[in-house]
Chain A
Amino acid sequence: MALLLKNGRVVDPAVPLDEIADVVIRDGRIVEIGRDLQIAKGITVECAEKVVLPGLVDAHTHLREPGFEYKEDVESGTRAAAHGGFTAVCAMPNTNPICDEGSAVRFLVERARERGVVRVHPIGAITVGQKGAALAEMGDMLAEGAVAFSDDGRGVQDAGMMRLAMDYAKQFPTTIISHAEVESLAGKGVVNEGAVSTRLGLSGWPAEAEEIQVARDIALAELTGCRLHLAHLSTARSIALVRDAKARGTAVTCEVTPHHLFLDEDALQTTYDTNLKMNPPLRTPADREALVAGLVDGTIDCIATDHAPHASHEKALEFEIAPWGTTGLETALSLVCTHLVSRDVLSWSDVARLMAHGPRSALGLEAVRLEVGGVADITIVDPEARVDVTPEFFESKSSNSAHMGATLLGKASEVLVGGRFALRNGKVVG
C-alpha cells in the first residue's frame, strides 16, 4: 500500500534536509521525496504546517512487563510511546524477574511482536539480578535481541565490577549504560541535597553522588575502550565531565530527561508532590540551565524520557516511601516543542538529532533517515496542537506525570513504524 505525506516540512539533518516536500512510502520504505508528488492509489496524509521527522526513539523506557503489569505493560507502554510520537522504545531490565538472561529478552521481543504498537529494543541487565555481584549473560541476551546493558535503577557500586563488565562487553557491538549513583552518598536521599531538603525535612541526594560515578565510569571507558552511555544526567558538573571526555575523544554518550530539563527543585518548595520524586532528583535552576546548554552545544546526545509509570495508590504514599519516577513518553515531545523549539532554543533539526538520531547512535540501533530507500519510521509533528496534561490524556496505564496540569503546545499527529500507522490524527492505531 502506498502512502503520500503531502506538503510537510521534511527535516532530517543526517541527509541533510529541511524543506517543504512530499514523501512517498511503499512497502515500509521511502521511495520518493520531492515536490508535487502523486500516488495512483493509497492514503494521502496532509502535512501542511506540520513537521516530518525521522522516527523518534526513546532510549530509556520502563515498560514494567513482566512483573508490574498493573503499572504498565508492553501494549500500554508502546501505545503511550506512539501517542507521544515515538517509533521505538528501549526497555529497561528492572522488571520482575529482572531481564538478565536470553530467555527474558526473548519474552520481551515476542511480546512486542504480538502486542507492541511501536518497536521495542530490550536492554539487558549488566549483572545478575542487578545485584552488582556477577556478570549477566550478555552474549546470550545480545543473541536474543538485546541492544545494550544497564543496571538501571541502581548504579553498579563496585568499581572493579563495572570495569569487568565493560572489559567483557567491549567484545560485542554493544553499549554499557551507567545509572550513576554512589549509594553511600545518596543514602536515604529523596530530593536534591540543599535548600529543598533543608526546607522539607527530607534526606538529601547530593549532586556529587552522581558526578563521582560519572567521572569513574568515564575513566573506566577510557581504561577498557568499552562504549559508555550515561543515563539521565542531572547536574552541571556531570555535563562538564562528559564535555571534557568527548574533547579527549572518549567513546561516551549521554542522555537527559525532560523532567530534569524543564523542572527543578524549586517545584518542590512548598509541596510533597510525589510525582516530583525522581531518581536522580530534580536539581537546581543552575543545573537545569547547564543541561539546556549541553543540548545546544552537542555535549548531550539525546533526550530520553525515563518513562517510569506507577499506580496511583503507590504514588499516594508518603514522599519518603513513594516509588521514584514520572511518566514521560507522552509529554516529552510536547515539552521540547513548548520550551525549546517555540522559543528558538532548538531547531527541528536539533529535535531530530536529539530524539531520533542521537539515541539510535548512542545505543547502536540501525540508523533511520528521511531518504529514498530509508525505513519509513517517521514522526509527524503538529507544532500548533494544544495538549492539556490531564489524567485522561494518557494512553499509559499510569498517570504519575510530573507535568500534570501543564498546557503544552505541539504534539505528534502521526507516527509511522515501518510504513504502518501507529498514530493517526493523534489517535493510537492498533
Chain B
Amino acid sequence: MLSTRHIIDIADLSADDITTILDTADSFKEVNERRIKKLPTLRGRTIVNLFLEPSTRTRTSFEIAAKRLSADAVNFAGSSSATVKGESLADTAATLSAMACDLVVIRHKYAGAPRILAEMMDSHVVNGGDGMHEHPTQALLDLYTIRERFGRLEGLTVGIVGDVAHSRVAGSLVPALRMMGATPVLVGPPTLMPARPDVLGAEVSNSLDEVLPDIDVAYMLRIQMERAEGMPFPSLREYSRMFGMNRTRLDVMRPEAIVMHPGPMNRGVEIAADVADSERSLVLGQVNAGVAVRMAVMYLLLGGDAGGAVA
C-alpha cells in the first residue's frame, strides 16, 4: 500500500512509497521477461488512459502495463479543453466518474489538470504528464533504471541537461532524486533554466563540460522544438555544440557513468547517434522499466501490497 490515493506530484509520495514502488516493479520486471507476460491481479478493474495531449510512447506503456495486470484498459483520446468549445475537463471527469472506472491516467497540456480530475472523481488518478509541471511515472522509471545499474540512489549525482524550464520530466525527477538522497544538477543555458531553481533544491551549471567529470548520470532532456515561442537559443547547432552529449564528452565522464534520455530523442541535437546506441546509454532500459514501474503504480494504488505482487 502507498500513503497516497493519487500520484500527481512526486511530493504525493514518501521515500518509503518510492522504495515500495521500485521494489514492486522489480518483481513485475521479471514477469515481463516471461513468455506469458500476464498476471490476473487486476482482473475486473477498469483503467482509463485519458490522453488529452498527443502521446504514443507513454500511452502505450500505460496500456501494456494495465493489460499485463489483466485490467480492462480503455483509451480515451481527445484534445485539451478549450475555453470556447469542446467539453471541459470537469465534465469529462464527471463523465468518467459516472462510468465507474477505478483508475485514470491523465496526460494533459496544462499544469494542474490532474488535480481537477482528482477533485472531481472517486477513482485513483495518475499523472501521465501535465503541462510543464510534472511527469511522476517517468521519474519513477528513471529512478528504477538508475538504481538497477548502480544498486543504489543515495549519493549519486545526476546532471539533468537541457530545457529544464519547460520540462515536466525534470519537474518530477529533481524532487524524486532529492527525496532518495541523490543530487540533481541542472545544466543548460540560462534561458532554459527555471526562474527559481533554488526552490527545487537543485544546483545549476551553465557548463556541461565542467560538470561531466563529477556526475554519475547524464540525463539528456529532449529539446522541445515544437514549443519554441522565439527560440531560447540561437540554433540547434550551437545548442548541440555546448550541451549535446557526444563521444568526446562521454569519454570525459567516469567509466561507470551512464547516459539517459526520456525519449523521443532528437539524434544529433541533445544526443549523438553513436552515444544513443552505445552500451553506456540506458535509453531502452528506461522504456523497459517504464512498463514494470507503471504496473507497480497501478497495482499498489488499487490496493495491492508489496509482498503479494507476483503470485
Contacts and interface: CB of A to CB of B under 8 A. Distances in A.
Interface string A194-218: 1101111111100000000000000
Contacts of B130: 201
A69 interface: no
Interface stretch (B196-204, B251-259, B272-280): B196-204
Contacts of B132: 201-203
Given A201-B111, A201-B133, A318 B199 contact: no
A171 B196 CA distance: 47
Interface in B43-101: 80-83, 88-90
* A interface, over-half SS: loop
Interface string B101-139: 000000010111101100000000000001111100000
Contact of B83 (A193, A201, A202, A317): A317
B194 interface: yes
B210 interface: no
A182 to B, nearest CB: 15
Nearest to B115: A272
A188 B229 CA distance: 10
Given A321-B82, A321-B83, A198 B196 contact: yes
Pick the most buried of A188, A272, A317, A318: most chain B CB atoms within 10 A of its CB: A318
Nearest to B93: A316
Given A194-B195, A195-B199, A201-B131, A319 B111 contact: yes
B195 A193 contact: yes
Given A316-B88, A317-B83, A317-B88, A194 B110 contact: no
Interface residues of A, number: 24
A79 to B, nearest CB: 27
A148 B218 CA distance: 58
B88 A202 contact: no
A271 B119 CA distance: 12
A202 B133 contact: yes
Given A272-B112, A313-B88, A317-B89, A198 B194 contact: yes
A198 B195 contact: yes
Given A318-B89, A321-B110, A201 B115 contact: no
Contacts of A272: 111-112, 115-116
A379 B238 CA distance: 65
Interface string B165-188: 000100100000000000000000
30 contacts: A187-B229, A194-B195, A194-B196, A195-B195, A197-B195, A198-B196, A198-B197, A198-B199, A198-B200, A199-B199, A199-B200, A200-B111, A201-B111, A201-B131, A201-B134, A202-B132, A203-B132, A313-B88, A317-B81, A317-B83, A317-B88, A317-B90, A318-B80, A318-B110, A318-B113, A319-B111, A320-B110, A320-B111, A320-B112, A321-B110
Interface of A: 187-188, 193-195, 197-204, 271-272, 313-314, 316-321, 323
Given A201-B111, A272-B112, A317-B89, 11 more contacts: A194-B196, A195-B196, A201-B131, A201-B134, A204-B195, A271-B115, A272-B115, A314-B83, A316-B116, A318-B89, A321-B82
Interface of B: 80-83, 88-90, 108, 110-113, 115-116, 130-134, 168, 171, 194-197, 199-200, 229
**What are the nearest 7 A-B pairs in CB distance?**
A201-B133, A272-B112, A318-B110, A201-B132, A198-B194, A201-B111, A198-B196
